Each structure stands twice: as C-alpha cells, then as structure tokens.
Amino acid sequence: MTRRKLVMGQRSQEEGNNSTMWELPTHWTAAQALAVFEVLDDLRDLVVDGYARKIQQAARLDRTVSTPSPPPNMDDGDVDF
C-alpha cells in the first residue's frame, strides 16, 4: 500500500479500494488534537443516538453469508455422499 501525503482536510481514494484514507497533520498541539477528538466523539454519540438500530441491522446484513440453494429438481439421490 502506498500512502500519499494529504493536505489537512483532503481525502484520497486508494486505487482499487473503497476505503478512504485520512492522514492527520503532524503539527497539531495536544489541545488541538483533543478538540478534534472531542468533536468526533460527540458526533459518534449523535449518530449512534439517531441510527443505532439501523446501524445494527446494516452490520448484521453485511455479515450475513448466503449459501446458494440447490436446484429445485435435485433430490437426495443426486448427491454422491
């Protein structure tokens, strides 16, 4: 994976990957980093408060593995074992 330098506030889509990579500035003070952390934490709380059930449903569906069903004309005699 090759990382590209990003200017604060820019986003980059990696080629062939749907995830967005963020790179934080290295010049923030501890107070600035804490302020960003607190804003993100508050935002997370708001999203969870408003969408917790829908998030859980989407996560459950995302993790569901579907197994292909056998053709309707197949019976136990068609199986080798």
The pLDDT tens digits for 32-63 are 999 999 999 999 999 999 999 999 999 999 88
Output the pLDDT for position 1.
Answer: 35
Instruction: Examine residue 4 and state whether it is found in any structural domain, yes or no.
Output: no
Instruction: Examine residue 6 and state whether it is found in any structural domain, yes or no.
Output: no
Instruction: Examine residue 2 and state whether it is found in any structural domain, yes or no.
Output: no
Instruction: Examine residue 49 and state whether it is found in any structural domain, yes or no.
Output: yes
Instruction: Examine residue 32 and state whether it is found in any structural domain, yes or no.
Output: yes
Based on DSSP, count helices (H) and strands (E) in the chain, helices before strands. Answer: 1, 2
The count of domains in the chain is 1
Residue 45 domain boundaries: 27-63
Residues composing the chain = 81
Q: How far is CA 44 from CA 12, 22, 39, 51, 74, in A?
A: 22, 17, 9, 10, 50
pTM: 0.51
> What percent of the chain clears pLDDT 90, i.e. is strictly above it?
44
Average pLDDT, the chain: 78
Q: Residue 71 corresponds to which tokens in the numbers above?
A: 């053709």
Which pLDDT band holds residue 12 (cuts at 50, 70, 90)?
low
Instruction: Examine residue 14 and state whether it is found in any structural domain, yes or no.
Output: no
